[in-house]
Structure 1
């Protein structure tokens, strides 16, 4: 009996040791490696344009390197699916960025935004640009914006800022709208998280990067003019 008890005590000790040590080893070594996101290596419909924009080798043929670079751009700007394919949506975002860059420091070259009203916030839907002028003087911008998607287009015309709420919360969409400045019913300037280039667009508001929204908050007041014109691509 004593010899049998000794054997049982030894077996229990081994089980306890295994129960304490083995899980730690399993946890340290058995976690599966994260699979890389799927990358579409098919040549896209806008391959050359996308390659040129990303400063890749412009040969019109998709490579894994191309795919990874395109995928990173898509992920950064909320383009779905982010599989690295050089399609029309991805090129549309890049083309818009090119247009915005071309605006330089003279965004009102066409004179579409009236400059005889004193302080005014200008919103060009076609180029997805906004800026603030004081008469003929450019005060801030131009800055990229994201306006209303198809079916929720930002309305055009002459408006005025009529209500401001720095920490506004939308009860309609259950989302934060920091630095909200309303100028047309429920339509407001406000900041968003993520990229202002992410498609398809807002529900009508003029979305800004946080730093730009904060500057707009510091520059505009109730009663200031807002002028909206043009047409957002895809609407």
Structure 2
């Protein structure tokens, strides 16, 4: 009986030592990963306005949950509800994309003398299809190449299409793939179009947009890519 008590005491002692040791090594309870920050960020008011929250510059629990939900949706990490530069950068880009309206080629940088053409503006991360100067589809948000794997600029043509393509290089599905520059293609992607750092060079589209591009474009159609994505 005495031995059992001594063994129980040792076990409790070890358990008592393990808890502070785990904290010292940086381990945290599972619930902590989903916790919200109480600190207001440098873009607090702008983020509050974007999300339709009361604009007071103070972080409330409801503010944090709204910011955190946005971050999780678009793969922004850490998703702690902090109104920092990365979160505001995504929102600011969304605002600029929305401001384009139905005139994505108002700067006339995408050629209007080639008939049917798919245009890609890397700066604004948008794409559209036009015929001459007539807008046929879009603009839609896109996700282009990351730093070191940039989507190449210039005049291109669609050379090969595969509706059910799978990349052997990256072992990922590329539905509705339409290749226009070597291994770079329009294709559907199952991630947010605002998810950083970006693709490996392809122009990612939302599934519905990729399907529409597939129905509207053909081999030999022109593609024009211009601008520069932030961070590349």
TM range (shorter): 0.7 to 0.9
Match of residue 181 from structure 1 = 178
Aligned residue-pair number? 203
Secondary structure of the residue aligned to 1:101 is: helix
Match of 1:138 in 2: 135
- Runs of 4 or more consecutive aligned structure 1 residues displaced over 6 Å after TM superposition: 33-36
Match of 1:20 in 2: none
Structure with greater Cα Rg: 1
C-alpha displacement of 1:227: 0.3
Partners in 1 of 2:31 and 2:40 — Cα distance?
Answer: 26
Quote the residue 1:197 is aligned against.
Answer: 194
**For residues 61-210 of structure 1, what are the structure 2 equivalents within 5 Å?**
61-210=58-207
Distance 1:207 1:177 in 2: 9
Q: Deviations over 1:78-124 (max 9, x none)?
A: 11111111111111110111011001001100001001000000000
Task: Extract unaligned runs of 5+ from structure 1.
Answer: 1-32
Please give the alpha-carbon distance, in whole angstroms, between the structure 2 residues aligned to 1:198 and 1:149. Answer: 11
Between the aligned partners of 2:155 and 2:86, the Cα distance in structure 1 is 31
Corresponding residue to 1:52 among 39, 49, 53: 49
What CA RMSD, in Å, does the superposition of the two structures yield over aligned residues? 1.3
- C-alpha displacement of 1:74: 0.6
CA distance in 2, matches of 1:36, 1:173: 30
Separation in 2 of the partners of 1:194 and 1:200? 12
Q: Secondary structure of the residue that 2:67 maps to in structure 1?
A: helix
2:34 is paired with a residue whose SS is coil
Report how far residue 194 of structure 1 moved.
Answer: 2.4
SS in 1 for 2:204: strand
